[in-house]
Copies of this chain bind each other. A is one copy, B any other.
């Protein structure tokens, strides 16, 4: 089982680090992809290594896509490869977990039509305009899509994400 985080400079540090460490706690391999293969820096100064470029990502390798927030999604939503990766996950009905501003990539990829979701309050109008059904809750699960609003929702966001991932893992046991 393998996870992909797509982000860039100015990520919201806790929204990247908390899921990253949580997945690793569970023994899940995590790649971090960004426009360039370099160290990237969060809004609070934490640095992580982007070990893949967006171009290098083979979406078939991954079971879940995580989209942290911060200002990184402003960069990511302009990257054609990021939109293609997001579309792959939706087409294959694979898990996508987005928090805060992470959804902006899904909005630009036009993947939220008719989908129940939540997001950071300042993104809500944009998400509704993209056809999503906005709910002001700590976590919303709609099929393959798990969404939360902000860092304080991380416990609920990861509770749902890990539960669904574990069900998926059990279903696919040989």
Cross-chain contact B13 with A155 (CB below 8 angstroms): no
A62 to chain B, nearest CB (A): 19
With a CB–CB cut-off of 8 A, which chain B residues contact A162? 25
**A interface majority secondary structure:** helix
A20 to chain B, nearest CB (A): 9
Give the nearest-CB partner of A160 in chain B: B25
With a CB–CB cut-off of 8 A, which chain B residues contact A159? 25
B-binding residues in A (CB < 8 A): 13-14, 17-18, 21-22, 24-25, 44-46, 154-156, 158-159, 162
Q: List 6 A-B contacts (CB under 8 A).
A: A13-B46, A17-B18, A18-B21, A22-B25, A25-B159, A44-B45
